[in-house]
Structure 1
Amino acid sequence: MAQLIKLQDYASRYETDPFRYPAQFIRLKKENWKKMKHLWREYSSENPRYHYTNEQGLESFIFKDGVPTTELELKQYFLDGMFPFQLKWASRTIREMSFLDDIYKEDETLKYFLQRFPDTFLFMYAPIFRLKQAPVEGDHLLIHPQGIYCIKILEREQGADIIAGDDRTWYQEHNLIRSEFLSPLVSLKRTYRIVRNILQAYDVDFPIKQLVLAPNHNIKAQTEPYLTEFIGAEEYQQWFEHMRSYLSPIKSIQLKAIRALLSHSQTTSVKRPEWDDDDDMI
């Protein structure tokens, strides 16, 4: 599962030490998955020690919504259980906290990136950059071991085709009716320039690409602009499987890149109460 290193302008655990927390997250995740899988196997066996019906039993204590019947169901249960933990790390540090909007708890875009991609992918959700004392909102960033994707997700009318136009205007075609909308390249190019300039300022040489992602629509385009990919419904499955197949560990250059990006990200937070416990257990 990808790591949420920045959520808009919320305080992020990763900002305090971008070289430490990516590896710590992977370790915590592996340890807790191992424990849950062991408990599930014990419970699924005929071992009566785990077959309690009172509130101390495994079913009510760990599997609050019923015990998964297959390992695939268990994995999804585990991913759903990890999601609040990821939001916690992306909205508070040891000393600071941001007030998390409940809308993110049900955000399907967040769940998609965090639950469907490898641990070594680091995700910034609509980060707000601080440039010359002015806040600038960027598109989503997916920082993986081979480079950075600036991502614009397109969701148009169901069944519509998307026709790539110029840098300013694109079109939606549905039931033989064509309508125009602002090209996703407008914000993507702005985000690309911001990321490129920040990396250059820190002497971080890391590839950057722009990605228009529309898994529910066909994208019709004569050509793709330089360093840009259009992934529509026809290309999506191959792209998705390719992205998930990355086996590379987190790289030093990747961590240098997120350190630079996080150092120029805006954060709005308050001091945490002294009695607010900090618990890293999942």
Structure 2
Amino acid sequence: MAQLVKLLDYVSRYENDLTRYPTQFLRLKQYQWNRMKIQWETGAEHTSSGSEKEREMDEGEENRQNLFASLFRLFKGSKEESEKDSHEIIEEDESLHFNPNVIYNPGSIEQLRQHYLDQLFNFQIKWASSTLMEQSRVAPKYMRDSLLRSFLQSLPDSYLLFYEPIIKLQKAPVELDIILITPVECMCITVLEEEDLAAFSGSGSRFWTKRHGAEEVKVLNPLLSLNRMTKIIAQLFKEQEIDFPIKRYLISRNGYIDYPMGGFDLEVIDRRYYGEWFDSIGKLSTPLKYAQFRAAQAILDVGQTTAINRLLIEDDDIAE
């Protein structure tokens, strides 16, 4: 399950400490999956014997988490000790607790896993919109966003997702599309989706043609947004001396794209090839890399955050 590092301009736990939360997410995810599976298999609530079984099941995961932790310590070595201490209180945050339960009786392990992933998706949104002291109000559309859900639920743990992030450049907010940082490349993704079976004809001009049934209209060239995003990311990497490949992707799950002018760093994927492409990027089992980690931090450093103090939210709730 990919990790949602930044969503729009919401406050994110990964902003507080990118060296901590990837490993914490992996540990929490694996532990709670084992607990939920035991609960389903036994048809009972979690017991002490279940805890023992979980510990045995977690042994294999422990080595991988230690590898992640070593990598993060290397990255974190130059940080001030006081900065590290300032984040220790985060562990006390009750919203870190993720306790999924079997609400109904799934008929198979596959159904149980999907039931678990749906609960974990909601928890990831929470991590990407709140910290110990701050909280952002999440637009309801993101809870229903099928593309966001598929990215998070189907891609590997080592993928770091920035979903429609807003960054600040020269004090001005800039809205980007989707950035997926894998262990081997930074994927800049623009999505072209409107009506089902819509056909887009592209060229180098400012506008493309969209055809849907008998209707034909002009739409803004989606590569303008994609190219701008790619240039911004490339400049951020250059300023931080980060040597990490960047590739452009124009995708459509439900439409057709005719664009014969693609380059070596551009992939155009429409409904004819989307399933195959998505399956292929989900098969990479490479763990997080140091350069990937630096790339994500470079983007987080310029991210815009809009949030309010959680104490104020609680006061408002009491007043109501």
* Structure 2 counterpart of 1:264: 302
* Preserved CA contact (<8 Å) 1:167 1:185: no
SS in 1 for 2:234: helix
* Structure 1 counterpart of 2:26: 26
* Structure 1 counterpart of 2:124: 86
The reply to whether residue 225 of structure 1 matches residue 258 of structure 2 is: no
Give 1:247 shift: 0.5
* Preserved CA contact (<8 Å) 2:195 2:254: no
SS in 2 for 1:234: coil
Unaligned runs of 5+ in 2: 45-99, 315-320
* Structure 2 counterpart of 1:40: 40
Q: 1:149 to 1:167 in 2, by over 3 A?
A: farther
Give the TM-score, by structure 1 length: 0.87
**Alignment partners' CA distance in 2, 1:274 and 1:220:** 51
**Alignment partners' CA distance in 2, 1:238 and 1:16:** 36
* Preserved CA contact (<8 Å) 1:161 1:218: yes
Matches within 5 A, 1:150-165: 150-165=188-203
Matches within 5 A, 1:136-215: 136-175=174-213, 177-215=215-253
* Structure 2 counterpart of 1:100: 138
Give 1:121 shift: 1.0
SS in 2 for 1:196: helix
**Alignment partners' CA distance in 2, 1:191 and 1:221:** 19
1:101-160 alpha-carbon deviations (Å, 9 max, x no partner) = 233222222212111211111111110011111111011111111111111111122222
* Structure 2 counterpart of 1:216: 254
**Alignment partners' CA distance in 1, 2:164 and 2:313:** 31
Match of 2:102 among 47, 51, 63: 63
Alpha-carbon RMSD: 2.2
**Alignment partners' CA distance in 1, 2:302 and 2:4:** 17
Identical residues among aligned pairs (%)? 38
* Preserved CA contact (<8 Å) 1:96 1:272: yes
The reply to whether residue 251 of structure 1 matches residue 319 of structure 2 is: no
Q: Report the AA paired with residue 306 of structure 2.
A: T
Q: Report the AA paired with residue 275 of structure 2.
A: Q
Give 1:167 shift: 4.7
SS in 2 for 1:230: strand
Aligned residues: 261
SS in 2 for 1:41: helix
**Alignment partners' CA distance in 2, 1:236 and 1:105:** 22
Give 1:73 shift: 0.5
**Alignment partners' CA distance in 2, 1:180 and 1:167:** 11
SS in 1 for 2:273: helix
* Preserved CA contact (<8 Å) 2:167 2:304: yes
Q: 1:192 to 1:29 in 2, by over 3 A?
A: same
Unaligned runs of 5+ in 1: 45-60, 277-282
**Alignment partners' CA distance in 2, 1:130 and 1:274:** 26
1:248-279 alpha-carbon deviations (Å, 9 max, x no partner) = 01111111111110000000112232997xxx
Q: Report the AA paired with residue 211 of structure 2.
A: E
Give the TM-score, by structure 2 length: 0.77
Bigger CA drift: 101-110 or 199-208?
A: 101-110
From the two aligned structures, give the one with the greater helix fraction: 2
**Alignment partners' CA distance in 1, 2:313 and 2:262:** 54
* Structure 2 counterpart of 1:236: 274
SS in 1 for 2:274: helix
* Preserved CA contact (<8 Å) 1:168 1:185: no
